[in-house]
Structure 1
Amino acid sequence: MAFGVVSMFVSMLLLAKTFSQTLALMTAEGPTPENERILQVVVPGVNLPISQMVYFFSAILISGVIHEVGHGVAAVREQVRFNGFGVFIFVIYPGAFVDLYTNHLQLISPIQQLRVFCAGVWHNFILALMALLGLYSLPIFLFPLYYTGSGALVTELTENSPASGPRGLSVGDFVKYVENCSVDSVENWHKCIEDISVKPQIGYCIKEEILQHLNSVGRVYRRLDGTTECCSNNSLVDICFSYRGKLQIPQ
C-alpha cells in the first residue's frame, strides 16, 4: 500500500513536470531537445513506427490485464465481492476491467480500500521488474544461439551502398574493428565512426595474389600487359595507387 501511495505522488510530479515542459515547448521559439523530456507522448503512426504497433498494443494489453488482476486479487483478500473480469478495445487501444461489488467496497476501512486501489500499480511495478530482468537475462538464455559483445552485426545494407558487394559487407557479417578501433558495443561503434570522420583516410597495400583472387568475385580490372589493378583508370569515384617495386608486406 505504501508503494502505491508513493507511486501516485511520483506520478503526479511527473505529470506536472511534463505539463510545464509542454507549456515551455509551446512558448519557446526553438525546438526542445528530445532527451530533456521526462515523458514522451506515443502516437502510433506519428512517432511510433507502424511495424512496432503489434508490440506496443501487446504491451498495453498485458500491463492492463496484470493491473486489473492486481485489483481483483486485493479485493478478494479484503473480502470484497468479485463480480467479474474482462477485456475490451476502445477504438484501437486494448484494455481490461474488473467489476467489484460497490457496497462491499464501501463497507471496508479506508486502509483496506487503499490496498485495493493501489494493488494495480504494485502489480505493474513487479511486471516491469520482471520484464527488465528478462531483458538483461536474454544474452544468458540465448547464449547457445546468439551472443553479444563480439562486434556489430550487419542486418541491412542500403541499396547501391559503397559498403556492399563482394569486397564490402554482406548481411550477417560481424564488424569487430573499424580502423583498428575495437567494436564491442553500440557506443563503441558510434565512437569509432566519429573518430574516423575527423582523422585522415588510410590506404592499405595488399598482395597481388589476393588482388588476382578478387578478379573472379569482385570489380578488378586488367591492364594491357596482363597485370591487375583495383579500379579503372577512368573511374571518377575510386582513388587507386600502385607500387611497382619490391614491397615487404608485414604479416
Structure 2
Amino acid sequence: MSLFYAFSLISLFWVIVHVVHHLRKPQTALLPTLNNIPRARSWADSSTSVIVNKVLLRCQTTAFNAKHDELAGKLKDRRSRSLRKWTAAFYSIGVGAGICGLVISFGGLLWLTGNSLFFQVFSDSAILPSHRKRDFSSSQPDARTFIQPIIPGVTVPWAHLPIIIIAVCLCQIVHELGHAIAGALYSVPITSLGMSLTLVIPSAFVSFPTGFLSSLDVISRARIIAAGPWHNLVLWVFLAVLGRTTDLVERATGVGNILVSLGWEDMSNVGRVVVGLDDDSPLNSVLKVGSVITALDDTSLADEEDRWSQYLMPQILSDIPWYGWCVSREIMQTSSSDCCSEVHPTLDYLCFDSLGYGKGCLNPIPILSMSNAQFRCQRGNDCDDNAVCAQPDSSASILRLSVQGQDLILWNGPRKEIWEQVSVSRYAPRFWFIPTNTIGILRDFWSYLQMATLSLFVFNLLPLPFLDGAQLLNALLDYVRPVSELGVDEESGISQRAPAALWKRRFERLVQFGTLGMILLYMLLRVGGTSL
C-alpha cells in the first residue's frame, strides 16, 4: 500500500464520518443522546454521545456506570471482605510496579537522549541510525538505541495499520479497565467512559468526578493511578507466558501443526507463498497472490528459517555463495561499456563485470535466465577457453526471483522495496474460502499486541502532564512529605500557599518540562542524525 493510497483511505474515512455527522446534526450526535439526566442507574437510563471535530472522533457513554456501581457495592460488602483484601493486594503490587516503571521510563529516556547527544557531538564517523523497516523474525537491535518506533509506511507496511489500531485499542481498554476496577475498590464513581480517534490514533478513557481522587488518601490514590499501567504489564506477562507455553506444548506434541494442517499446507520445503501484494507494485503484472517464490538469486527459500527477510534486508548474510555466468569472451570484449556510466541502468542493456576482462553492456535476460550448472561459475577457470565469468556490476541493483511454474522474474531496484511490497508466508490455504494471509495476520497481531501493551506501560509512566506518571509522582511526593496546600500566616492570619506545597509544585513542573525537553531533543537528534 502506497502513501497516497493510505492517505486516500484515511481521507475517505473522515469524509464519511463528517457526512454522517452532518446528516445526523439535528439530533446533535451520531448516536442517540440524552442530555441533562441524572447519573445512570441502568442501561435504559444511560446516554451516549458522539463528538466530531475535524479529525477527532470521540464517543462516550454512561451505559456502564450502573455495572461499575454494582462492582463497587460488591467490593464494599462485608461478605466480600476476602475479595476486597486480595484486590487491594493486587493493586498494591501494581503501585510497586508503577514506581519501577516510572524510574525505568525516565532513566531510559535520559540514557537515550544522553547517548544520542554523545554520538552526535563527540563521534566524527558515527551517524545516528535512521528508521528501518521492522521484521518480527529477524530484525537485530540497534547498537545505540533499543527503541524502534512503529510507523506505518516507514518502519512497517501500511497494510499493518488496521491491526495496529485494533491492538492499541484493546490495550487501551485493558488499561482503562484497571483504573475503573481500582476506582470501584474505593467506591469512586465513574461519570462516563468511551473511545476516541485522533486521525488514526485510538485511545480509551474513563472519567471520574472532578476532585474525587484528590480526596482519597495517598495509598488509595496511588493504587488507582498505577492500576492502568499495571494491567498493561500483567497483560504483557500473560501473553509472554502463553506464547512460551504454547511453543513448549507445540514442540512436545506437535498439536499446533496438526490443527494448522487441517486448513493450510506447509510450503517451507518449497519456498514462500505470496499472500499480499501492494496495488501499485510493479510486480503486480508478473506475480499474483498464491504464487510460490522458490529462490532469491541463488538463495533457496526452501528452508524453515526466514531467508526471505534476511536476504531482502539492507545487510545481506555473509554466508550466501557468489555465482557468476559463463559469457562468450568475444561478446564480452566487443560489447560497449557506455551503460556502465549511467546513474539509473535499465534492463535493456545491463553492465556486466567480468573477472579480469573489463566491463560490457549485455542483454541480461538470456544470461541471467541460464540456471544450468555448466553456465555458472565462481572463478575464471570454471568456464571454457572461449568464455569468461561475469556478473552484473555492483552499480546494478538486479535481483532474480524464481517462481514455481513460471519464468524467471528480474527486479531492477532496491531489494528492500520487494520486502515492502510483497508479503509472504510459509503456509498456503487448502480451501478457497480461507483468506490467504490469515496466519500472517494473526501472527502480526499477536506481536503488535505484545508491543502495544508493553509500550503503554512504559509511556504512560513518563512524568508528563495528563499521563499516569505525573499523577503517580504527585502521589509519591505527598507520601514522602505530606504538605498542606494552604497555610495561615501567624501575624496577619491570612491564608497563603505553604512553602512546601510551592516547592513540590515547582519540582513537579521541573521534572515534567525536563521530560518533555528530553523527548524533543531526542527527536531532533534522530532527525538530524538521519539527514547527515
CA distance in 2, matches of 1:134, 1:115: 27
Structure 1, gaps ≥5 residues long: 165-169, 202-234, 243-251
Match of 2:208 in 1: 100
Alignment-mate amino acid for residue 41 of structure 1:
P
Match of 2:174 in 1: 66
Does residue 154 in structure 1 map to residue 272 in structure 2?
yes
Match of 1:16 in 2: 110
Distance 1:49 1:65, change over 3 A: same
Q: 1:144 is matched with which residue: 246, 259, 273?
A: 259
Alignment-mate amino acid for residue 104 of structure 2:
V
- In the TM superposition, residue 16 of structure 1 has moved relative to its aligned partner by 1.6
Does residue 118 in structure 1 map to residue 226 in structure 2?
yes
CA distance in 2, matches of 1:143, 1:174: 24
Question: Secondary structure in 2 aligned to 1:46?
Answer: coil
- In the TM superposition, residue 83 of structure 1 has moved relative to its aligned partner by 1.9
Instruction: Answer 1 or 2: higher relative contact order, Cα 8 Å, separation at least 6.
Output: 2
Match of 1:223 in 2: none
Q: How does 1:68-217 map to 2 (within 5 A)?
A: 68-136=176-244, 137=246, 141=256, 143-146=258-261, 151=269, 153-156=271-274, 171-172=291-292, 183-186=303-306, 194-197=318-321
Alignment-mate amino acid for residue 168 of structure 2:
I
Aligned residues: 198
- In the TM superposition, residue 73 of structure 1 has moved relative to its aligned partner by 0.6
Contact 2:271–2:303 (Cα < 8 Å) also in 1: no
CA distance in 2, matches of 1:72, 1:24: 43
Alignment-mate amino acid for residue 31 of structure 1:
I
CA distance in 2, matches of 1:25, 1:105: 44
Question: Secondary structure in 2 aligned to 1:155?
Answer: strand
CA displacement 1:118-139 (0-9 Å, x = unmatched):
0011100122223334545376
- In the TM superposition, residue 173 of structure 1 has moved relative to its aligned partner by 7.6
CA displacement 1:125-173 (0-9 Å, x = unmatched):
122223334545376546421598x7574123996xxxx9xxxxx9458
CA distance in 1, matches of 2:163, 2:318: 33
Question: Secondary structure in 2 aligned to 1:195?
Answer: coil
Does residue 35 in structure 1 map to residue 142 in structure 2?
yes
Question: Secondary structure in 2 aligned to 1:9?
Answer: helix
Question: Secondary structure in 1 aligned to 2:211?
Answer: helix
Structure 2, gaps ≥5 residues long: 1-94, 130-140, 312-316, 326-365, 376-532
Distance 1:153 1:72, change over 3 A: farther
Contact 1:152–1:185 (Cα < 8 Å) also in 2: no
Match of 2:101 in 1: 7
CA displacement 1:9-30 (0-9 Å, x = unmatched):
1111122222224434654554
Contact 1:152–1:184 (Cα < 8 Å) also in 2: no
CA distance in 2, matches of 1:197, 1:75: 62
CA distance in 1, matches of 2:291, 2:114: 45
- In the TM superposition, residue 51 of structure 1 has moved relative to its aligned partner by 0.9
Deviates more, 1:72-81 or 1:101-110: 101-110
CA distance in 2, matches of 1:47, 1:179: 25
Question: Secondary structure in 1 aligned to 2:147?
Answer: coil
Contact 2:120–2:128 (Cα < 8 Å) also in 1: no
Contact 1:152–1:186 (Cα < 8 Å) also in 2: no
- In the TM superposition, residue 52 of structure 1 has moved relative to its aligned partner by 1.0
Contact 2:179–2:224 (Cα < 8 Å) also in 1: yes
- In the TM superposition, residue 49 of structure 1 has moved relative to its aligned partner by 1.9
Match of 1:227 in 2: none
Match of 1:213 in 2: none
RMSD: 4.1
Question: Secondary structure in 1 aligned to 2:156?
Answer: coil
Structure number having the greater strand percentage: 2
CA distance in 2, matches of 1:7, 1:75: 21
Distance 1:104 1:152, change over 3 A: farther
Alignment-mate amino acid for residue 154 of structure 1:
R
Match of 1:206 in 2: none
Distance 1:63 1:22, change over 3 A: farther
- In the TM superposition, residue 200 of structure 1 has moved relative to its aligned partner by 10
CA distance in 2, matches of 1:152, 1:6: 48
CA displacement 1:201-250 (0-9 Å, x = unmatched):
9xxxxxxxxxxxxxxxxxxxxxxxxxxxxxxxxx64435649xxxxxxxx
Contact 2:272–2:292 (Cα < 8 Å) also in 1: yes
Alignment-mate amino acid for residue 272 of structure 2:
V
Alignment-mate amino acid for residue 319 of structure 2:
D
- In the TM superposition, residue 94 of structure 1 has moved relative to its aligned partner by 0.7
- In the TM superposition, residue 66 of structure 1 has moved relative to its aligned partner by 1.0
- In the TM superposition, residue 82 of structure 1 has moved relative to its aligned partner by 2.0
Distance 1:111 1:152, change over 3 A: farther
CA distance in 1, matches of 2:101, 2:201: 24
- In the TM superposition, residue 184 of structure 1 has moved relative to its aligned partner by 3.8
- In the TM superposition, residue 47 of structure 1 has moved relative to its aligned partner by 2.6
